[in-house]
Structure 1
Amino acid sequence: MLRPWILSMVCVLCGVALAAPRVSRGEPVEAAVFLLLFVLLGGLLSPLVFPRSLDAAEAQRRSAADGRPIVYWRPGCTYCLRLRIRLGTSAGRLHWVDIWRDPAAAAAVREANGGDETVPTVVVAGRPHTNPDPAWVRAQLSRRS
């Protein structure tokens, strides 16, 4: 259950490691800046910036009912973060599935990508699209609303 948080924790620990010597040298402002930057980076790489994840079966059921795309993602993925940020408030209208929390989702992504767990993989109308342009995803979402 801690796996999605590993990258975030590493960022915070790096910030602490860089800030501690500065505090001991009497440079508290510099230390605070380093720590703040690494805490912010850790927050961006955490699961907190993504909408609540569903399991693969629930996302497929909901997508079949409302026609909205499914986004398979994992924490720490910069392409997933790029997609999430560029979608803005529209991201909440998609069905997000964390492949690290759901083995069935990871298997679906591997099947769609020739055995690789390449994310983000967006499934629109049953067809997978690997790392699509965020503008394209937004257009798909507006077509189905």
Structure 2
Amino acid sequence: MGNETNEFDRVTMFGADWCRDCRRSKALLDSLGVDYEYVDVEADLSAADRAEAISGRKNIPVVVLPNGKHFVEPSDAELRGELEAAGVL
């Protein structure tokens, strides 16, 4: 499911304001009080390439956990479960 590189020391989310799934995942992270870095792929043109390199897909959001796992377009339930499993929550 996720690659196991550990280049991120906290949750990182690649997304864009126009993306409905990105807004949903961002709202979940905010409501759970997760310390995360939001990388706007529109504001940082290299970010889209970085997100694609991580996931192998052009879809966003890409959420990367500190343990190296990543998720593309996760549901709220999936994201919450993985945050709990990773000890982030």
Same fold (TM over 0.5): yes
The RMSD of aligned alpha carbons is 2.3
Identity of aligned residues (%): 24
Deviation at 1:110, TM superposition (A): 1.7
Q: 2:73 aligns with which of 123, 127, 131?
A: 131
Mapped pair 1:121 → 2:77: no
Aligned length: 80
Residues 72, 97 of structure 1: 8 Å contact kept: yes
- Which aligned segments of 4 or more residues in structure 1 are displaced greater than 6 angstroms? none
TM-score (norm 1): 0.45
Q: Give the aligned partner of residue 32 of structure 2.
A: 90
- Could you say if the C-alpha distance between residues 94 and 134 of structure 1 is closer, same or farther in structure 2, counting changes exceeding 3 Å? farther
Residue identity opposite 1:120 in structure 2: P
Residues 72, 105 of structure 1: 8 Å contact kept: yes
Q: Greater helix percent: which structure?
A: 1
- Equivalent positions of 1:8-19 (< 5 A) are none
Q: Give the aligned partner of residue 88 of structure 2.
A: 144
Query: Which structure ranks higher in relative contact order (CA pairs < 8 Å, sequence separation ≥ 6)?
Result: 2
Q: Greater strand percent: which structure?
A: 2
TM-score (norm 2): 0.67
Deviation at 1:144, TM superposition (A): 2.5
Residue identity opposite 1:105 in structure 2: A
SS at match of 2:63: strand
SS at match of 2:74: coil
